[in-house]
Structure formats: C-alpha cells, structure tokens
C-alpha cells in the first residue's frame, strides 16, 4: 500500500479481539457503514455484531486477509503477538493498528515484527470506556508510522476517538500511557487513604468526597505550573515549599497511624520530600520532589542535589 492511500467509509476494516473495547469499536465501525470483519477466540462474542452485519472470520489469517486496515484489541502484547503469528504471510501491504495495552519493549518487538512482514504499524493508547467510544470525550495517542496515522484518521477518529500522533517511535504512545495511568492510580491511592481516614471519624465516603472533589479540582489546575518548573529546573517559590508540604504530609501520616491506618500509600511520597529537604531544598517548590525519583537524575549522578 503506498503512502498516498487514505481510508474511507468504504474501506473494509478488521477488528481482532471482541472484549468490551473491541466490540464497541466494531459496532461503531458498522454504524458508520464500514464493511467490518471480526474475529474473537471465543467465537460467540461475535454473534451480536454478525447480527448487525459484521462478517465473522474463523481464523486470524482469514480476518487479516479480509481488510487493508486491521485493528488489534486484545488483553496484552503476548496475546497480540501469538494471535498474529499465523497471519504473518498475509500482513504485507496492510495497516496494523494495535490498541492493546502494554509496556514499551513488547511494543517495539511487535512493531519490528510487523514492519518486517511488510505492514505499516501504529500503536495506540485509548482514553475511553466502551460507552464513550467515538464521542468527543474519547481520545487516542498514537505512535509509529506517520503514513498509517494520516491514512487512518478519517475512519478511526470518528469511530474510536480523536487521535494525536506523539511520535514515530512506536513505543512513545505506550510510555505516555504508562505515565498518564500512573498519575491516575496515584490519585486513586490517595483517595482510598482519605476515605479510610474519614471513616475512622464516622464520615462516609460520599460525604468526604464532596470537599475532596472541590479541592482536587483546584489542585489539578496547578499541574501545568509544576510541569513548567520541572522542565525548566527552576523551583523558586514563595508559597508551597518542600518544608511546608513535608510537615503537612507527616501530620497526615501521624493522624492515620494514631487511628490504626496503614501508611504504605503515602509514606513513600513523604520520603520524596524528606530526601529533598535533606539536600537543602526545603524552601524550594514542592514540585522539586520529582527530582527524588527522576530516573535520569540517578543515571546522571544526582541532578537533584543542585541548588535551585
């Protein structure tokens, strides 16, 4: 397939994997008039889509051969690699879009394997739940072939979510996905700790969540400022310092311990502040805590010890 090819609503598309996300995508493609071929290891998962007009493939090779655009949506990269292996001989000249979640190294390996068999490879991280697929709420970060990204936007943006190409290195979407989700799980961890602390005083989860959402909404608005400080390395501040937040978090942990709570969620965060304070950065912005865990810092021999 040459670099000028652009897919349209007449383009046949194959979806491999019919979990919640894959089924939602296949349904969205059918709604938009695409001839859609589907495959799932448990064949019965395809029944509702076949009833709506999808074509059921009995093998992965048959499914891949049916369409110039193939979207993979399975559990992990081991599963993706295993199911695609029998289709190696029919991958040439196809565009392979993998929206399976995974870590960067398996992404690199699968991308190299796919391109080695003549396919254009695009890796995607989808930020949506099945109910929001194809709505303005959904978005996708892609990395890999620019030709593949340009060719698929017209069909995948409406059916899946607005796409952004973050780079031609196929691992970049995975790295960004892990980064975004790590922040989400950190938020959930803090949320669970707050509920546990509130419960010791008889406060319900619903009641504490009201002020919590108000406060976190304002806190999230400060993240671009923190990002700017971290990128510039300038942690000068006259407001929220390492020392102020170190004392505040220490008090939170003490209150929890006094009430019998496990402190394993927040104690590592306090350690980030303690390490910066020990290096003489107590008056720096709280964003400087980042320097305590920056992988590049440890490799470079301690950027975090420099004076702000």
* Model pLDDT for residues 62-95, shown as the tens digit of each residue: 999 999 999 999 999 999 999 999 999 999 999 9
Domain 13-175 has CATH 3.40.50.720: yes
- Is the pLDDT reported for residue 301 higher than 80? no
Residue range(s) in the chain whose domain bears CATH number 3.40.50.720: 13-175
Residue range(s) in the chain whose domain bears CATH number 1.10.1040.10: 222-305
- Is the pLDDT reported for residue 271 higher than 90? yes
The 10 Å CB-count burial string (b at 16+, else e) for 204-227 is: eeeebeeebeeeeeeeeeeeeebe
pLDDT at residue number 306: 37
Give the pTM. 0.89
Mean pLDDT of 124-134: 96
Check residue 154 and give left, alpha or beta (phi > 0: left; psi -120 to 50: alpha).
Answer: alpha
CATH of 222-305, one of 1.10.1040.10, 1.20.1730.10, 1.10.10.10, 1.10.3720.10: 1.10.1040.10
pLDDT at residue number 43: 96
Mean pLDDT of 219-241: 96
pLDDT at residue number 9: 83
- Is the pLDDT reported for residue 113 higher than 50? yes
pLDDT range class, residue 305, cuts 50, 70, 90: very low
| Mean pLDDT, the chain, whole residue set | 94
CB 69 within 8 A of CB 86: no
């Amino acid at each position: 397939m040459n670099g000028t090819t652009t897919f349209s609503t007449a383009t046949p598309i194959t979806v491999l994997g019919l979990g919640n996300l894959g089924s939602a995508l296949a349904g969205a493609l059918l709604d938009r008039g695409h001839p859609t071929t589907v495959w799932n290891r448990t064949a019965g998962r395809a029944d509702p889509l076949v009833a709506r007009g999808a074509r059921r493939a009995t093998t992965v090779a048959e499914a891949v051969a049916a369409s110039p655009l193939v979207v993979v949506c399975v559990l992990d990269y081991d599963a993706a690699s295993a199911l695609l292996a029998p289709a190696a001989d029919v991958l040439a000249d196809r565009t392979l879009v993998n929206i399976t979640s995974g870590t960067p190294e398996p992404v690199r390996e699968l991308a190299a394997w796919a391109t080695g068999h003549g396919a254009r490879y695009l890796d995607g991280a989808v930020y949506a739940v099945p109910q929001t697929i194809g709505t303005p709420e959904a978005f996708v970060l892609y990395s890999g072939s620019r030709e593949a990204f340009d060719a698929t936007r017209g069909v995948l943006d409406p059916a899946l979510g607005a796409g952004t190409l973050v780079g031609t290195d196929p691992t970049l979407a995975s790295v960004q996905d892990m980064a975004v989700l790590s922040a989400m799980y950190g938020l959930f961890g803090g949320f669970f700790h707050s509920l546990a602390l509130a419960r010791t005083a008889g406060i319900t989860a619903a009641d504490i969540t009201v002020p919590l959402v108000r406060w976190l909404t304002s806190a999230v608005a400060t993240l671009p400022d923190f990002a700017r400080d971290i990128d510039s390395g300038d942690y000068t501040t006259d407001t929220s310092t390492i020392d102020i937040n170190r004392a505040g978090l220490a008090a939170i942990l003490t209150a929890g311990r006094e009430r019998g709570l496990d402190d394993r969620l927040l104690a590592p965060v306090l350690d980030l502040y303690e390490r910066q304070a020990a290096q003489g950065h107590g008056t720096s912005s709280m964003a400087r805590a980042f320097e305590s865990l920056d992988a590049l810092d440890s490799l470079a021999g301690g950027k975090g010890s420099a004076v702000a």
